[in-house]
């Protein structure tokens, strides 16, 4: 029989889930010298739904310096855009120009995350591997290890930094307009993140090219591995691009100069990573004449498949946004805003272990913002959860009184009470029988122990009791009367160190030392499988050494809850 209250319960749970998801939504805000564009997305079972989209023109001809010098104009335009687009969230992801950022992949000696944090705390890491123009406290820095090579004892680290003064220009515009910045990304990575909502994301090597009066670069991505190459544009060429005067001989020469640098970037990439061909080239540009733009680029970059990046192509778009989309001749101008909008899936730290280019956040107080937003969500969800519990309790009480109290006779209630008493007695008897069986097995086993087996049991029992989290044994055996060899897997170096320290503290072990430690090429398929193999040798005190070591080999299982798996990496 169907529960009549099941639809009500389902509706309550669905509403609570939808509310929780809504709290993670952000609006992508793309602030350029000429335009401000916003986008808001929601991910569902069918992909990405475009909920909000809009733009406002600030100036016909402007440069990056105008954002700093005419900040009030941008604040006012953003306020108007927030109102006209009817945004439903104040949380915003914004981006800074690539010219305001330092992006490097650094090869350095192998270190743990704890060692890196310690080196950063004492200002010794960045000063040793990077040459920055100003003091470190004038920068906002994001870093993430993208690859560790234990065989060569090296690692590769993604380093992204920008001056606080540069970041605050964009943060202040968003804040003064009434938004709450929670992510500050670099424009090239924001455009790359738009691939998340694009089916072309599944292809191999992708080259993203931005061509315009202010931002010009190449970003090549292979399996989330980035390669960035700046493209130089002279002031005269910038003026031509801004004016849209790219037809004729002067336009041909400009495209040839631009394409020459692009081809140089492609060759540099192929030499560095050994890739023979770029699988796809996506072009982002504010140029309105996209037909002429594509024709010139395809002619200048002959041999490559070049398409205009349309970030709206694979989105679910409601009809009320058709007018906004159709008013823009070149849809690629929305790419950065779309890429910023998908960052909502990570702003509260639920996806910590993701590739660095997906996770860049230069917001100076990002940790504080994340904690504040998380507390808000937990507080609101807690209130709803408490209300739901109270509601269910009230409903349950009413149901109980209606269906049972009025219908149960006194005799039936007595029978129910007796049945509960019988169940309790049977449970007590079962527990006593189980305990008796356990003691009997222990007594039977003790009859079989020889003197050396009892010692072995005590030693192995003691070892098994000091196993920390993140350690799994494969074998334990004696290779001599007083030498115990323990082999197994560990989730990290720290777990092995803790295990050895605990072994050293056992009274029956004279000395414990690590013999070798290697990366595990094929870890055991268990929840949180070990990442490293190790071998520990223990010198056993004379009183605990077995009489016949060859009979002492026995595996030991350590039921440990492993740590979660580590992050994906890229070069």
Alpha-carbon distance of 502 to 187, in angstroms, equals 50
User: HSE of 221 in the Cβ direction (CA atoms, 13 Å)?
Assistant: 26
Q: What is the pLDDT of residue 421?
A: 84
Residue 468's Cβ-count burial label (10 Å; 0-12, 13-18, 19+) is: middle
Q: How many residues does the chain have?
A: 571
387 pLDDT higher than 70:
no
Report the SS3 class of residue 408. coil
Nearest Cα to 48, choosing from 159, 244, 198? Answer: 198
Average pLDDT of the residues in 89-118: 88
Q: Where are the domains of the chain?
A: 202-308, 365-399, 408-448, 451-551
CATH number for the domain running over 202-308: 3.30.420.40
20 pLDDT higher than 90:
no
Reported as a single tens digit per residue, the pLDDT across 519-544 is 876 554 444 455 789 999 999 887 66
For 107, the token pair is 């090869």
Reported as a single tens digit per residue, the pLDDT across 304-346 is 889 999 999 889 999 999 999 999 989 999 999 999 998 864 4
pLDDT band at 157 (very low <50, low <70, confident <90, very high): confident
Sequence-distant (≥ 6) Cβ neighbours of residue 445 within 8 angstroms = none
Nearest Cα to 360, choosing from 199, 167, 149? Answer: 167
CATH number for the domain running over 451-551: 3.30.1360.100
Nearest Cα to 314, choosing from 14, 19, 49? Answer: 49
CA torsion, points 475, 478, 483, 484, in degrees to nearest 10? 30
Cβ atoms 78, 181 nearer than 8 A: no
Report the SS3 class of residue 475. strand
Alpha-carbon distance of 373 to 347, in angstroms, equals 9
Distances in Å between the Cα of 426 and the Cα atoms of 31, 289, 415, 417 are 72, 84, 16, 14
267 pLDDT higher than 60:
yes
Of 109 and 132, the one with more pLDDT: 109
pLDDT mean across residues, the chain: 79
The DSSP letter of residue 351 is: T
Q: What is the pLDDT of residue 441?
A: 52
Cβ atoms 185, 97 nearer than 8 A: no
For 571, the token pair is 């070069």
Alpha-carbon distance of 51 to 28, in angstroms, equals 12
6 pLDDT higher than 70:
no
Nearest Cα to 486, choosing from 536, 533, 524, 531? Answer: 536
Cβ atoms 492, 468 nearer than 8 A: no
Sequence-distant (≥ 6) Cβ neighbours of residue 163 within 8 angstroms = 100, 134, 138, 139, 140
Q: What is the pLDDT of residue 167?
A: 94
Distances in Å between the Cα of 76 and the Cα atoms of 36, 54, 70, 140, 177 are 11, 15, 11, 27, 7
Regarding beta strands 35-44 and 91-96, do their DSSP bridges make them parallel or antiparallel, or are they unpaired?
A: unpaired
Question: How many degrees, rounded to 5, is the angle at CA 77 between CA 76 and CA 78?
Answer: 90
Share of the chain above pLDDT 90, in %: 28
Distances in Å between the Cα of 379 and the Cα atoms of 3, 18, 23, 500 are 31, 16, 12, 42
Average pLDDT of the residues in 153-161: 88
Tokens 């006194």 sit at which residue? 410
Sequence-distant (≥ 6) Cβ neighbours of residue 533 within 8 angstroms = 487, 488, 489, 490, 517, 518, 519, 520
Least confident window among 96-100, 416-420, 447-451? 447-451
Name residue 183's beta-bridge partners: 93
For 114, the token pair is 């704890």
> Most confidently modeled of 54-58, 158-162, 452-456?
54-58
Nearest Cα to 360, choosing from 98, 61, 107? Answer: 98
Q: What is the pLDDT of residue 380?
A: 57
User: HSE of 231 in the Cβ direction (CA atoms, 13 Å)?
Assistant: 29
For 387, the token pair is 């209300």
Cα Dmax for the chain: 104
């Amino acid at each position: 029989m169907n529960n009549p209250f099941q639809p009500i319960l389902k509706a309550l749970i669905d509403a609570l889930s939808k509310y929780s998801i809504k709290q993670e939504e952000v609006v992508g805000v793309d602030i350029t010298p000429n335009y401000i564009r916003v986008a808001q997305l929601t991910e569902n079972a069918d992909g990405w739904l475009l909920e909000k989209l809009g733009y406002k023109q600030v100036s016909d001809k402007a440069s990056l310096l105008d954002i700093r010098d005419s900040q009030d104009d941008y604040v006012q335009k953003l306020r108007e855009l927030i109102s006209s687009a009817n945004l439903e969230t104040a949380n915003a992801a914004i981006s800074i120009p690539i010219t305001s950022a330092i992006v490097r992949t650094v090869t350095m000696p192998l270190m743990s995350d704890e060692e890196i944090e310690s080196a950063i705390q004492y200002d010794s890491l960045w000063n040793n591997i990077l040459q920055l123009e100003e003091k470190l406290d004038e920068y906002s820095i994001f870093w993430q290890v993208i690859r560790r090579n234990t065989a060569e004892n090296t690692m590769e680290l993604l380093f992204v930094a920008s001056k606080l003064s540069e970041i605050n220009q964009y943060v202040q515009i968003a804040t003064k307009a009434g938004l709450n910045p929670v992510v500050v990304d670099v424009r090239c990575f924001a455009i790359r993140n738009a691939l998340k909502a694009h089916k072309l994301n599944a292809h191999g090597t992708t080259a993203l090219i931005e061509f315009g009066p202010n931002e010009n670069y190449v970003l090549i991505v292979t399996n989330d591995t980035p390669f960035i190459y700046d493209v130089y544009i002279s002031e005269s060429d910038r003026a031509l691009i801004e004016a849209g005067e790219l037809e004729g001989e002067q336009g041909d020469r400009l495209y040839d100069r631009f394409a020459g640098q692009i081809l140089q970037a492609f060759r540099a990439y192929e030499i560095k990573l050994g890739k023979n061909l770029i699988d796809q080239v996506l072009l982002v540009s504010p140029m309105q004449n996209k037909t002429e733009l594509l024709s010139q680029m395809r002619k200048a970059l002959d041999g490559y498949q070049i398409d205009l990046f349309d970030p709206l192509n694979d989105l679910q778009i409601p009809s009320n946004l058709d007018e906004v989309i159709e008013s823009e001749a070149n849809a690629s101008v929305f790419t950065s805003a779309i890429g910023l909008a998908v960052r909502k899936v990570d702003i509260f730290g639920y996806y910590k272990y993701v590739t660095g280019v997906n996770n860049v956040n230069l917001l100076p107080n990002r940790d504080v913002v994340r904690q504040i937003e998380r507390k808000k969500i937990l507080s609101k969800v807690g209130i709803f959860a408490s209300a739901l519990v109270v509601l269910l309790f009230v409903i349950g009480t009413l149901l109980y009184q209606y269906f049972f109290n009025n219908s149960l006779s006194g005799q039936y209630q007595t029978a129910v009470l007796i049945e509960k008493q019988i169940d309790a007695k049977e449970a007590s008897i079962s527990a006593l029988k189980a305990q008796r069986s356990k003691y009997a097995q222990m007594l039977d086993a003790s009859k079989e122990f020889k003197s050396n087996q009892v010692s072995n049991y005590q030693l192995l029992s003691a070892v098994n009791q000091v196993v920390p989290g993140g350690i799994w044994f494969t074998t334990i055996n004696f290779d001599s009367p007083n030498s115990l060899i323990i082999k197994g897997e560990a989730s990290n170096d720290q777990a092995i160190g803790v295990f050895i320290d605990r072994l050293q503290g056992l009274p029956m072990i004279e000395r414990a030392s690590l013999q070798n430690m290697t990366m595990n090429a094929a870890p055991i398929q268990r929840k949180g499988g070990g990442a490293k193999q190790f071998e520990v040798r223990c010198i056993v005190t004379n009183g605990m050494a077995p009489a016949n070591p060859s009979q002492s080999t026995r595996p030991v299982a350590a039921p440990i809850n492993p740590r979660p798996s580590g992050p994906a990496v890229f070069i």
